Amino acid sequence: MKHIKEELVKLIDKSVSRDDLHAKLERGELEFIMVTLMHQGILTYENYLKLKKDYEKRNKHIDIICITSPRSFGETWAEVHIREIIPELESTKGTEAKGEFDLVYKNGKKPIKLEVKAGRAIDRTKHHIPYHERALVSTDKEGLFDMNFQQMKPTCFDAIIMIGVWTDKIRYWFMTSDEIKKNKYFSVGQHRGNKGYEGQMHIKTENIADFEKYEITPDEIFKKIKKLATR
């Protein structure tokens, strides 16, 4: 969003209706602005298509980012997304295991219990706007971001799939419960008085490079799970 706004500001300043267009820019009425600028001969049709294509590329996951309910984002969307990638996984929804782990793979030598967590890249420099709007961050953005994966209980699952969502990209990290427990960024005692080995993990600007060895592609997730199932 920031990139296209910067480009439009340059063009709007050339318009006879710049005050009105600046107001519409604040309200996010991008299509109206671009059509107006084309009508005034300030924006060519070719540059309009280029701006629109670039915007769509940078914001292809904006619908996911803007899921305002933490439960709908962190549980419903994330679990459905992983099961779409790996239909062989079964949900624990409606079973006694729900709350301990999310998915299970039963076709190996032993069942593999899987936790799924999703996080949005949050702009740490903005505190005066709603949480989901602070998450409108692309991977090429300069500055500080933070992504928090909460309520991890590594004593309850065999491995965890962490999904990181930016406006332009989705990234995946796969870690075993032992790797979570030993990781220096895993903070135990997320909630006062909590029982068990529950904690949270922050992936942010300063430490994301340390998670490179855990990052995998969607195609590699199932291979990791099946490998665990053969141990």
Give the pLDDT confidence score for residue 230 in this predicted structure: 87
Instruction: Flag whether pLDDT at 157 surpasses 80.
Output: yes
Domain chopping of the chain, boundaries: 2-58, 62-229
User: Taking Cα atoms as reference points, which of 155, 161, 153, 162 lies closest to residue 202?
Assistant: 162
Mean pLDDT of 90-101: 79
Q: How far apart, in Å, do the first and last CA atoms of the chain sit?
A: 46
Give the pLDDT confidence score for residue 67 in this predicted structure: 84
What is this structure's pTM?
A: 0.81
Give the pLDDT confidence score for residue 195 in this predicted structure: 55
**Percent of the chain at pLDDT exceeding 70:** 88
Tell me the fold of 62-229.
Answer: Trna Endonuclease; Chain: A, domain 1 (3.40.1350)
Give the pLDDT confidence score for residue 93 in this predicted structure: 82
